Amino acid sequence: MPAANPDALAFLLTRRSRPAKTLTGPAPARPELETLLTAAARSPDHGKLEPWRFVVLGRPALATLADEVVTRAGQLGLDPEQTDKGRKQFADSPLCVAVIEVQRESPKVPPIEQTYSAGAVCLALVNAALASGWGANWLTGWPAHDRGVASGMLGLDANERVAGFIHIGTETSAPPERPRPDLGAIVTWRDA
């Protein structure tokens, strides 16, 4: 039997993302954040392609991005509610790490596995932040999927896209527990 890590399992069984709107400063300092990024970078990566990278957005960059999102929303003709939701994600965040999926040419690792790896990095970063006592949330929204935001504001190449915006800071209120999946409805057991 392998050695158990009951503390890690207890954390995973009770982990809960913190709504980004409940996060405030302070946020992790660079040395702390580097530890969190190191943990996230240990995610499954078939072929050692590193099909992801990080863009760390501090407060000045977030304020600029919030303004640029409003401009882009106007260009797209988005309604005020969509515009404000996109803006607030960045204007109100104490720290954000954009996890960037980087599709790499590989004869052995199909693009979908690279996408899965980038998603694993997002969850690993959220979990590392939560395990370190920070509040964290993985968001996307229209700014994550818009090429104008990706290429213009974040400087992404054609083979890159945002897998997630991971907001990290000090939580101001714990969210209530929410219903969890019913294993009986989603698990199929096959013994033969």
How does residue 46 score in pLDDT terms, banded at 50, 70 and 90?
Answer: confident
Tell me which residue of 72, 60, 66 sits closest to 91, measured CA to CA. 66
User: pLDDT digits over 157-182, tens only?
Assistant: 999 999 999 999 999 988 888 899 99
Backbone φ/ψ region at 93: left (φ over 0), alpha (ψ -120 to 50), beta = beta
Domains of the chain: 19-172 (3.40.109.10)
Is the distance from CB of 36 to CB of 73 less than 8 angstroms? Answer: no
User: pLDDT digits over 55-109, tens only?
Assistant: 999 999 999 999 999 999 999 999 999 999 999 999 999 999 999 999 999 999 9
Give the model's pLDDT for residue 176: 83
Cβ neighbours around 122 below 10 Å, total: 23
**What ranges in 26-78 are assigned the alpha helix state H?**
30-40, 59-76
